[in-house]
Structure 1
């Protein structure tokens, strides 16, 4: 009887050890909010599919959440990162405790798209132009394009706050709005449907379109986890730039598109704008901050370190270069 008890106890211990070992290998979930499909999201999807996140003991959960809501959600601790770094820049300048941890693009890849009967920016006077939030990236670039074409965005047009592409494109089709800024994918699709391209955003502004942002608390609470996530994302970014055929297949899956010609056109435009190392130089970053201060009417001094924490992505770059890592 004693022998049976010993054997039984042995197997119970073995099961307990197995369960403990299994739980120790469980992946930690990183929740990431995104407003629309862009380079940041593609890189994370690639990092997931290629196993880069798993190598770091992580798993990503992508949540479609609009810009300013994503920031509130992050501050409440509901998500770990968000991809709308432009909104993070506006929030950071206002003193909200968030940091931009990577800059994947410092020039926006959007086009100003209008109804077919509008052929110039000048014809937008008195019209409705949709943006995603009053101080988000779309709004900032839209105002810059209008100003440089002699239109006062506060008086001559109506900036209407709407959701993502899935909301703004039907609004454009039904003439609820007359123009909006679309990302590369939606821009090409809209032009194929007869809508007019009035301007290319990268000709008018330096602005963060692709990047990853988080809260100051998340960085302080777990800098090691933050670093692992950034390193996996950076690997995904380099895969995207280096392996066109595989990257475009991932894009087709994510966008649920079968038009390879369209996907290749999107890829060619986006890949030219990508910052392979995941950050921009200080001069560009400070100019973005200064422009945002004007937009938000903030008077206090705001430095790069107040808005950006690029230490993780720079460290990851150094490690990958030293190790000779290739996708």
Structure 2
């Protein structure tokens, strides 16, 4: 009898240990939508390749999805997060139930590039300037740069809506437009072809260019999973800003560029703009919200906490610092 009881106890303990280990080693699958390669995506790629997400018990799938579609698929539950932070801000201001949970960059890295004969912003009076959409981040920054150089964007220039770099660069080459804003890589390419750089957007405006967003429901239903995801992403971000040479290799792969010298230049220009802790000052965030309210013509009062939930990234920072974690 005692032998049977002992055997039964051993079996119960074995089963308990089996299911405990199985549950603790379970991997949670997450899907992240991104429209283009930027700081946010490089941080995620590095976290994936270096095993940081695996350490957090996560299998993260990165999906290339256009901005407006990324928001819709996240709201539909088909993906868990998206990286186009500017679109997330605009949507949240319009009362779409999404929130930003990290801010990796709060200043735009775009350059205002113009035809070779144009040497100042003032010379853009009466000219065609291309943006991607009337209310998009590019348009917001373009208007701010024009205003701060004495031009009224509604009267003194013609803002033309076009697509991405693959559309706007040929339009610049054929002189269909006289100026546009380009990211660092395209700006360098344009300058090599003789086009003029009139200024850098980071000197004129605060704007979210890198971050992570998700839905209100996801935050309520899976806070522990979101925290693990953010902590893994923050590890990737720390690697990106502190390990220059391997980070440049990741950039070369992500951008599909073989010119290491050019990618190194892009890295060195962008790194000073990266927020290493993954969040920005509340005053800066409130100014972004207020600017977006003007752009979208929203009248209601909106506070930082209505648009951002930075509790996850702040907690992750505290844990990584207290543990002495290094990439």
State if a TM-score over 0.5 links the two structures.
yes
Once residues 121 and 292 of structure 1 are traced to their aligned partners in structure 2, the CA distance between those partners, rounded to angstroms, is 23
Q: How does 1:111-260 map to 2 (within 5 A)?
A: 111-260=111-260
TM-superposition CA deviations, 1:45-75 (whole Å, max 9, x none) = 1111111112122233333333333222322
TM-score scaled by length of structure 1:
0.88
Once residues 44 and 118 of structure 1 are traced to their aligned partners in structure 2, the CA distance between those partners, rounded to angstroms, is 39
8 Å contact kept, 1:67–1:136: no
Once residues 98 and 306 of structure 2 are traced to their aligned partners in structure 1, the CA distance between those partners, rounded to angstroms, is 9
Deviates more, 1:301-310 or 1:137-146: 137-146
Q: Which runs of 5+ in 1 are unaligned?
A: 1-17
8 Å contact kept, 1:98–1:213: yes
Once residues 132 and 73 of structure 1 are traced to their aligned partners in structure 2, the CA distance between those partners, rounded to angstroms, is 21
Once residues 94 and 62 of structure 1 are traced to their aligned partners in structure 2, the CA distance between those partners, rounded to angstroms, is 27
TM-superposition CA deviations, 1:94-137 (whole Å, max 9, x none) = 21111011011111111111232332222323333222332221
Count how many residue pairs are aligned between Structure 1 and Structure 2: 309
| C-alpha RMSD over aligned residues | 2.2
CA change 1:61–1:179 in 2 (3 A) is farther
Q: Secondary structure at the match of 2:234?
A: helix
Match of 1:69 in 2: 69
Once residues 126 and 118 of structure 1 are traced to their aligned partners in structure 2, the CA distance between those partners, rounded to angstroms, is 12
Once residues 144 and 115 of structure 1 are traced to their aligned partners in structure 2, the CA distance between those partners, rounded to angstroms, is 20
Once residues 180 and 133 of structure 1 are traced to their aligned partners in structure 2, the CA distance between those partners, rounded to angstroms, is 12
- Alignment of 1:36 with 2:36, yes or no, is yes
CA change 1:216–1:242 in 2 (3 A) is same
Once residues 45 and 152 of structure 1 are traced to their aligned partners in structure 2, the CA distance between those partners, rounded to angstroms, is 41
1:148 positional shift: 1.3
Q: Which runs of 5+ in 2 are unaligned?
A: 1-17
Once residues 196 and 176 of structure 2 are traced to their aligned partners in structure 1, the CA distance between those partners, rounded to angstroms, is 16
Match of 1:262 in 2: 262
Superposed structure 1 runs of 4+ greater than 4 Å apart: 21-27
Once residues 225 and 176 of structure 1 are traced to their aligned partners in structure 2, the CA distance between those partners, rounded to angstroms, is 48
Q: Secondary structure at the match of 1:104?
A: strand
Q: How does 1:289-300 map to 2 (within 5 A)?
A: 289-300=289-300
TM-score scaled by length of structure 2:
0.88
8 Å contact kept, 1:129–1:177: yes
CA change 1:129–1:35 in 2 (3 A) is farther
CA change 1:25–1:162 in 2 (3 A) is farther
Q: How does 1:282-321 map to 2 (within 5 A)?
A: 282-321=282-321
Q: Secondary structure at the match of 1:214?
A: strand
Match of 2:8 in 1: none
Once residues 149 and 325 of structure 2 are traced to their aligned partners in structure 1, the CA distance between those partners, rounded to angstroms, is 46
Q: Secondary structure at the match of 1:33?
A: strand
1:42 positional shift: 0.8
1:188 positional shift: 1.4
